Structure 1
Amino acid sequence: MMTFTAEGELEEDHVKITSNNTELKIGLFSSDYPTPEEILLSSALSCLMLTVYYIAREKNLKLNSLKGYIEGTLDPKGFQGDPNIPPGFLEINYEIEVSANNKELLQKVLEESERRCPLKDTLTRSIKVYVKWKII
């Protein structure tokens, strides 16, 4: 088992997150900082791309190029309190452009990457989430 962690503290209109000795500043929509939604999409895209790289390396497939794009759609009315609309993403779409000389092996790598990508798995399956509030 592996455990990943992050710590955060509110600083005016953004949250300063520290994870793996790296600091990120995350803000609300229309702030000068990336939003939590943009960070989630960035993480999901990089996770799938790095999974492709990792599995290609396992199978001795040299990638010529790997580029990606991701977008997520949400209805802000959910965040604003409308009980009939989920507050989170309604749909996420990846678009990955990849090149390798061995197209047959590449196809196998891509199929396996979709199955093995930790964040794609997390986004597509129900997981347990617990919130523990400490009122001080």
Structure 2
Amino acid sequence: MTIVTFTAEGRLEGDKVIVNLSDIELKIGMLGSEYPTPEEFCLASAISCIILTVYYIAKEKGVSIISIEGYIEGKMDTSGFQGKGDIPPGLQEVNYELVVRSQDDRINDILQEAERRCPMRDTLTRNVKVNIKWKIKS
């Protein structure tokens, strides 16, 4: 078994969060701000992951792909974030639409395998253990 640990660091700056990933700095804002939201970054991660997973498996199996492109949307009821009722605060539904161009007859098998092996799809559809450790400083 090989475990890989991914990390990110963030800090509040005004009304946005500055996140550092390797040598890249991202600005993330709340809904309605000029910056992409955490939910949009989640969707960007999800669509890039499925596309890269298809690419990886196709390369692994020697299947030629001409192109892959897609669209993803996530639906969220903001009432949950606002603390109203029993509504979950996060995304309630995620829908992908992908277009894959390939002349290889094995492409359908690649796509089915990609759905099974895509790490972000797995993360979005499975209960994941989450631990939060708060430190309060004055």
TM-score range, shorter chain: over 0.9
Alignment of 1:52-91 (within 5 A): 52-91=54-93
Structure 1, gaps ≥5 residues long: none
Deviations 1:63-104 (A, max 9, x none): 1110010000010000000131000111000000001111x3
Query: What SS does the aligned partner of 1:63 have?
Result: coil
Within-5 A mapping of 1:29-108: 29-102=31-104, 104-108=105-109
Identical positions, percent:
55
Q: Which runs of 5+ in 2 are unaligned?
A: none
Match of 1:14 in 2: 16
Residue in 2 that maps onto 1:28: 30
RMSD: 0.7
The code of the aligned residue for 2:115 comes to E
Q: In the alignment, does 2:111 pair up with 1:110? A: yes
Question: Residue type matched to 1:133 in 2?
Answer: W
Partner of 1:126: 127
Tell me how far 1:9 sits from its aligned partner: 0.5
Q: Distance in 2 between matches of 1:111 and 1:20?
A: 32
Matched residue pairs, number?
Answer: 135
3-state SS of 2:66 partner = strand
Q: Deviations over 1:31-65 (max 9, x none)?
A: 11100000000000000000000001001111111
Which residue does 2:4 correspond to in 1? 2
The amino acid of 1:48's aligned partner reads I
What is the TM-score of this pair, normalised by structure 1? 0.97
- Structure 1 stretches of 4+ moved >4 Å: none
Q: Which amino acid aligns with 1:135?
A: I
